Amino acid sequence: MATQNTLDWEVSEDLCSQKPEICSNDLTLLLPTEMCEEIFLYVPAIDLVVSVSRVCKNWYDILRSRNFWFQKVKREGFQLSAVTEKRLAEEKDLGKALLILQGLSCHLLGVNTNLIQNPSGQDGLNKWHVKHGGNGLDVENAPVGSNLIPEEAGLPTQHCFVSSFTPCTRTQMIKLENHKLQPWMIDILQPKIKVSEWLVKSPEFIKQLVLKLVALMLH
């Protein structure tokens, strides 16, 4: 069986020009198309793209169906918005629509996932461009002098970035092409981009902040 590591991302375009021959011994020709589709929904998407679609012309034609891949995307847990589904359904270039639907089904496109590398500092300051201020930016595991990071933050560990009283900055460039996302895909999908960060201030920091505010008020 094929594995995710062997997927050629241009495989759909290859299949467009290399149709399998008709097999006279293909017993699936005796089955309704709907039944074949239902069976294929239980097959890993990566195998459908790389292997199954190359078996015979009947299977190839079934797996060139936009409607089938809409079902497969939903079976894989992706909930397309009505607007996105409409764009994909109306996309005139079938090859482009299939590339997106197959990419989603194979979990190869960087959507519904955190694109930030080393998000909480589990690998130190690796992948980040840092400008240090005060005593500099550092990493703790777990936070010292404050509550633990809640589970709803969705972070893999209790690692977190810590800074001194002087501001520090950290930036990271995200290249969408590294996540198999091409500009034309973004135009069609128009995914929602969510940016969030959990901030925890230690009691000592809050105490110092209150003292500074009181001092300002007295003056």
Interatomic CA distance for residues 69 and 87, integer angstroms = 14
Asked whether residue 208 carries a pLDDT value surpassing 60, the answer given is no
142 preceded by cis ω (within 30°)?
A: yes
Domain boundaries, the chain: 4-105, 129-218
pLDDT band at 190 (very low <50, low <70, confident <90, very high): confident
Q: Give the strand pairing for 169-171 and 129-131.
A: antiparallel
> What is the predicted pLDDT for the residue at 102?
94
Tell if the pTM clears 0.75, that is, is over it.
no
pLDDT top residue among 92 and 210: 92
Mean pLDDT within 59-82: 92
pLDDT-wise least confident of 14-23, 50-59, 208-217: 14-23
Token look-up 């920091």 returns 205
163-186 residue pLDDT tens: 877 778 888 988 888 888 888 998
